[in-house]
């Protein structure tokens, strides 16, 4: 299988760990259901990113499933987390949103769905550790403006419409600075009751 997915490696790394160049996310270890949903969405044009739309345009479901399962099993080391100075108030706001949410604004904690260790939840919720701040901010923003969407009911859309641009920046910045988890495997499905119903968890 590794030979067949060489089409992915210049952006996502030889083992799906991501690469240093900018924006491309780590895909290794994300739940297979999540990765499969993304591949199908790229193929069918419901998620827009031209280089991905082009690459998977003519690949059948079964093969996309196999690719997803391949990367879901991999556990390469995590990249260096982001270092350097950041506004302490911003980091505090980020940490608070990720771990506790904002009851005033009706924002649930990221950890409520993405797992206490932020490593994701089977079958459809991705881990957030190991992603770069500009990737996370980019995804949240495109969700907010309606460019990115998930299976209905789109819980992520409900969450992000309650977040300000400053909230998005705070969450992304804080997440990019977290240490690699000891066990990067996603949590099992339905260990907890999720605050919003999610189409991708059905």
Partner 1 sequence: MRLVTKVAIACVVLAVLAVAVVSWMLPGALPSKPREAGAPNAATPLTGAPKAVTQLIEKGEYLARAGDCVACHTNPEGKQFAGGRPMPTPFGALYAPNITADEETGIGAWTADEFYRMMHSGVSRDGSLLYPAMPFASYTKVTRADSDAIYAYLMSVQPVKQKNRPHELKFPFNKRELLLGWRALYFKEGEFVSDPKQSEQWNRGAYLVEGLGHCAMCHTAINALGGTKESKEFEGGMIPNQNWYAPSLTSNREAGLGNWDIKHIADLLQVGVSDRATVYGPMAEVVYNSLQYLSDADAEAMAVYLKTLPKRDAEAPPTSQARLVEPAVMESGRKIYEKQCAVCHGAEGKGQPPAYPPLAGNQSITMASPVNSIRMVLNGGYPPGTRKNPRPHGMPPFSHILSDEEVAAVVTYIRVAWENSGTPVVPAQASELRKLLPE
**Applying CB under 8 A, does 53 fall inside the site for partner 1?**
yes
Q: Residues 7 to 26: which contact partner 1 by CB under 8 A?
A: 7-11, 21-22
User: Which run of H or of E encompasses 54?
Assistant: helix 50-55
Q: CA-CA distance, 183 to 163, in Å (whole number)?
A: 29
Gap between the Cα atoms of 134 and 183, Å rounded: 24
Instruction: Give yes or no for residue 63 binding partner 1 (CB under 8 A).
Output: yes
For partner 1, the closer of residues 45 and 103 by Cβ is 45
Binding of partner 1 at residue 56 (CB under 8 A)? Answer: yes
Residue count of the chain, please give it.
202
CB 157 to partner 1: min, Å: 17
Question: For residues 108 and 101, is the Cβ–Cβ distance under 8 A?
Answer: yes
- For 146-190, the three-class secondary structure string (H helix, E strand, C coil) is CCCCCCCCCHHHHHHCCCCHHHHHHHHHHHHCCCCCCCCCCECCC
Q: Report CA-CA distances (Å) from 167 to 34, 53, 125, 145, 171.
A: 24, 30, 20, 15, 6
- Span interacting with partner 1, options 54-62, 80-88, 158-166, 173-181, rule CB under 8 A: 54-62
**How far apart are CB 64 and partner 1 at their closest, in Å?**
9
Minimum CB–partner distance for residue 169 and partner 1 (Å): 25
Minimum distance from residue 172 beta carbon to partner 1 (Å): 21
- Are the beta carbons of 43 and 36 closer than 8 angstroms? no
Output the smallest distance, CB 123 to partner 1, in A: 22
Pick 11 or 189: Cβ nearer partner 1: 11
Residues found near partner 1 in the complex (CB under 8 A)? 3-11, 21-22, 44-46, 50-51, 53-60, 62-63, 66
């Amino acid at each position: 299988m590794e030979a067949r997915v060489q089409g992915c490696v210049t952006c996502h790394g030889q083992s799906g760990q991501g690469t240093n160049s900018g924006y491309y996310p780590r895909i290794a270890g994300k739940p297979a259901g999540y990765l499969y949903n993304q591949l199908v969405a790229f193929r069918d044009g419901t998620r827009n990113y031209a280089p991905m739309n082009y690459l998977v345009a003519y690949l059948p479901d079964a093969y996309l499933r196999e690719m997803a399962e391949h990367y879901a099993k991999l556990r390469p080391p995590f990249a260096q987390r982001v270092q350097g100075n950041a506004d302490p108030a911003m980091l505090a706001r980020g940490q608070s949103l990720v771990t506790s949410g904002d009851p005033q604004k009706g924002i649930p904690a990221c950890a409520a769905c993405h797992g206490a260790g932020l490593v994701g939840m089977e079958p459809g919720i991705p881990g957030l550790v190991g992603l770069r701040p500009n990737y996370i901010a980019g995804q949240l923003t495109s969700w907010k403006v309606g460019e990115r969407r998930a299976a209905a009911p789109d819980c992520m859309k409900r969450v992000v419409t309650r977040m300000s641009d400053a909230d998005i920046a705070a969450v992304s910045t804080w997440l990019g600075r977290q240490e690699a988890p000891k066990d990067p495997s996603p949590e099992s499905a339905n260990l907890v009751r999720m605050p919003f119903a999610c189409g991708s968890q059905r």
